[in-house]
Amino acid sequence: MRLTLSVIKADVGSVGGHTKPSSRMLATVEGEVAKAICNGLLIDGFICHTGDDIAIVMTHTRGEGSSEVHQFAWKTFLAATSVAKMSGLYGAGQDLLADAPSGNIRGAGPGVAELSFDHSLSGPRPAESFMVFAADRFSESFTDFFDNPAWDEVRRRAQRKAIEMRSQGWSGAAMLPYSELEYGGFRDTVSALVKRFRLREERKPEAAE
């Protein structure tokens, strides 16, 4: 039997900024995974979170890049997003960059890692454990940056510069323009607020007596 291990994760909302998803969000995802196991889409599933990223770890026999499995994960993240929006949580749905991707969701926002291998039930065999490393906004280059002492001076300079900019009143100096921010909830909020602004007629200064 050819088994596939799929891990799909996304940040679709969190409590108090970039902290963690709410218990209701996690319960929603767990409920959807339980239904997928019952209807035969998945063999098994496990839910965890790294910071505010929810990860769905799934085993199935549908192969890597399965549109059924990917669409299931997408719809599950949408369900968690709805919970986050109803609760007024931070960054609801921020990693769901596409409106409605068809099939495979690679490139649509969520992180995807998959592995397929042959699994035989004939005769005794040793256990085959696996380990998933999940991280939020992390890559191999960052591993070097944080673990290599050669970068100590670079970090110190970056920190000094950040402190100097803040002392001058700058905030979010490296922030993208609103139109390019990945935080969908933030864009929606700002767009709604913009509509409430009204231009006042300019008042001419009164002549001095």
Place of tokens 């969701």: 105
Cβ-count burial 39-52 (b if 16+ within 10 Å, e if not): eebbeebebebbeb
Helix (H) or strand (E) holding 194: helix 184-194
What pLDDT is recorded for position 96? 87
Which regions of the chain are under pLDDT 70?
124-128, 137-148, 171-186, 204-209
What pLDDT is recorded for position 186? 66
d(CA 30, CA 28): 5
d(CA 5, CA 182): 28
- Chain center to CA of 95: 5
What pLDDT is recorded for position 179? 64
The beta-strand segments (E) located in the chain are 2-10, 44-50, 53-60, 111-118
What pLDDT is recorded for position 95? 86
What pLDDT is recorded for position 143? 46
Fold adopted by 2-118 = Alpha-Beta Plaits (3.30.70)
pLDDT (tens digit, 9 = 90+) per residue, 128-164? 678 888 877 654 444 454 656 777 887 788 888 878 8
What pLDDT is recorded for position 193? 83
What pLDDT is recorded for position 141? 41
Q: Where in the chain are all domains bearing CATH 3.30.70.1290? A: 2-118
What pLDDT is recorded for position 140? 40
